[in-house]
Amino acid sequence: MRIVILEDDKDQADLLVAWLEEAGHQCTVYSDGNAFIRAYNKDSYDIVLLDWEVPNITGIKVLKHLREHLDALVPVVFITQREAEEDMVEALEAGADDYMAKPIRHLETMARVNAIARRVGFGEENTSDTYEFSPFTIDTKIRQVFKNGEQVEMTQKEYELTLFLFKNLGRVISRGHLLEMVWGTSSKLNTRTVDTHISRLRTKLDLESEQGWRLTSVYRHGYRLEQV
C-alpha cells in the first residue's frame, strides 16, 4: 500500500517507515502540517498516519481539512502522545478511523494497519472472487471484467487499473499513485502511460455514457471514478 505519514519526530518516523517498508508498503513522510496539505493537493494515498502535535498546522486540523476538502474516504490513523479520552473522541468524530497513543508497539501497529487494509480491499483475507458494480462484474479469480454478462477484452494492466479504480470509488487518485500501485514503477516516471490506459478504459467500459458511471480527469491531480 501507499502510506503517508505526518510525524515531526524523526526517530518515530524512521521507526514507522522501517516497520511498514519491511511489510512491503511504500512510505512518504512529512514533518509539518503545511507540507502535508501541499503534497496531498497533488497526490493520493491508501492510508494516512497522523501525529497530533506537529508544526504549523496540528494533526487534528489537518484531518479536518483532509475530510472537508481533499479526501473524505482515505483511512486515517492517529499516532500521538495525547492519551486523553476527549482527544480520542475528537479525532474519531472528525473522521479518524483509529487512534493509537505513543509509545507504539510493532505488532499492534502492524495489526491495526493490516485490519484497515483488509477493510478497504487490500490483503488476501478480504479478496472476493467477484466484485459487482452493475452492469459490471470483476472476476478476480480469472482476472476478467464483464459488462452485462459479456466479457470485456482488455490487457492485464487494463484489468488491474479497472479493479483499482473500482476499489477506490469516489476518490481522486493521482497519476503517481496509479503508476506505483498498478505498474509498480516510480511515481516520478512519465504519466502518459496512465492517461493512455484511462482513455482506453473510458472507451471499452463506456464510462462517459448513460451507464451510470463516470471516469473524470481532475486537473493537475489525477482521476476519479464515480457513480452518477
- Distant-in-sequence, close-in-space partners of 160: CB < 8 Å, separation ≥ 6: 182
Residue 221: the pLDDT is 86
**pLDDT surpassing 50 at residue 75:** yes
Where along the chain do its domains lie?
2-119, 128-227
CATH code assigned to 128-227: 1.10.10.10
Residue 126: the pLDDT is 46
- Give me the torsion for CA of 64, 182, 130, 166, rounded to 10°: 40
Domain 2-119 has CATH 3.40.605.10: no
Residue 185: the pLDDT is 79
128-227 matches 2-119 in CATH topology = no
**pLDDT surpassing 70 at residue 127:** no
**pLDDT surpassing 70 at residue 198:** yes
Percentage of residues in the chain with pLDDT exceeding 90? 82
Is 19 in contact with 110 (CB distance < 8 Å)?
Answer: yes
Q: What is the arithmetic mean of pLDDT over 93-117?
A: 95
Is 70 in contact with 36 (CB distance < 8 Å)?
Answer: no
**pLDDT surpassing 60 at residue 134:** yes
Q: What is the arithmetic mean of pLDDT over 109-135?
A: 81
**pLDDT surpassing 50 at residue 125:** no
Confidence label for 154 from pLDDT (cuts 50, 70 and 90): very high
The string over 24-55, giving b where at least 16 C-beta atoms fall within 10 Å of a residue's C-beta and e elsewhere, is ebbbebbbebebbbeebeebbbbbbbbbbebe
Q: What is the arithmetic mean of pLDDT over 30-41?
A: 95
